[in-house]
Structure 1
Amino acid sequence: MTDPILSVRGLEKRYGAFIGCTDVSFDVWPGEVVAIVGESGSGKTTLLNCISGRLERSAGEIRYRMRDGRFPDLGHLSEAERRFLMRTDWGFVHQNPADGLRMRVSAGANVGERLMAVGERHYGDIRRTAGDWLSRVEIAAERIDDQPIAFSGGMRQRLQIARNLVTHPRLIFMDEPTGGLDVSVQARVLDLLRGLVTDLSLAVVIVTHDLAVARLLSQRMIVMKGGHIVEAGLTDRVLDDPRHAYTQLLVASIPES
Structure 2
Amino acid sequence: MSVDNDQPLLKVSGVSKFYGRRPGCLDVSFSVYPGEVLAIVGESGSGKTTLLNCISTRLAPTTGTVEYRMRDGRRGDLYRMSEAERRVLMRTDWGFVHQNPADGLRMTVSAGANVGERLMAIGERHYGNIRETAAGWLERVEIPDDRIDDQPRAFSGGMRQRLQIARNLVTSPRLVFMDEPTGGLDVSVQARLLDLVRGLVNDLGLAAIVVTHDLAVARLLSHRMMVMKEGRVIEQGLTDRVLDDPREPYTQLLVSSILQV
Structure 1-normalised TM-score?
Answer: 0.99
Partner of 1:161: 165
Q: Give the number of equivalent residue pairs.
A: 257
For 1:1-257, what aligned pairs fall within 5 Å after superposition?
1-254=5-258, 256=260
Distance of 2:260 and 2:203 partners within structure 1: 31
User: What is the rounded CA distance, in whole Å, between the counterparts of 2:260 and 2:19 in structure 1?
Assistant: 38
Residue 8 of structure 1 aligns with an amino acid whose one-letter code is V
What is the alpha-carbon distance in structure 2 between the residues aligned to residue 2 and residue 38 of structure 1?
29
TM-superposed CA distance for 1:76, in Å, is 1.6
**Deviation, structure 1 residue 75:** 1.1
Go from structure 1 to structure 2 and tell me whether the alpha carbon gap of 1:3 and 1:135 turns closer, same or farther (over 3 Å shift).
same
Q: What do the CA deviations read for 1:84-137 (whole angstroms, capped 9, x no partner)?
A: 100110000000000000000000000000000000000000000000000000
Contact kept? 2:216, 2:260, Cα under 8 Å:
no
Aligned pair in 2 of structure 1 residues 256, 187: CA closer, same or farther (>3 Å)?
Answer: closer
Q: Which runs of 5+ in 2 are unaligned?
A: none
The CA distance in 2 between the partners of 1:79 and 1:19, in whole Å, is 25
Paired with 2:193 and 2:64, the residues of 1 have a C-alpha distance of 34
- Residue by residue over 1:23-54, the C-alpha shift from the partner in whole angstroms, topping out at 9 and shown as x without a partner, is 10000000000000000000000000000001
Letter in 1 for 2:253: L
Q: How far 1:191 sits from its partner (Å)?
A: 0.3
Return the letter of the residue paired with 1:185.
Answer: V
Distance 2:195 2:260 in 1: 21
The amino acid that maps onto 2:65 is E
Q: Do the aligned residues in 1 keep the contact of 2:214 with 2:259 (CA within 8 Å)?
A: no
> Which runs of 5 or more residues in structure 1 are unaligned?
none
The structural deviation recorded for 1:256 is 4.5
Question: Which 4+ runs in 1 deviate beyond 4 A?
Answer: none
Superposed displacement of residue 255, structure 1? 5.7
In 2, Cα distance between the equivalents of 1:129 and 1:62? 33
2:23 is paired with a residue of what secondary structure?
A: strand
Q: RMSD across aligned C-alpha pairs, in angstroms?
A: 0.7
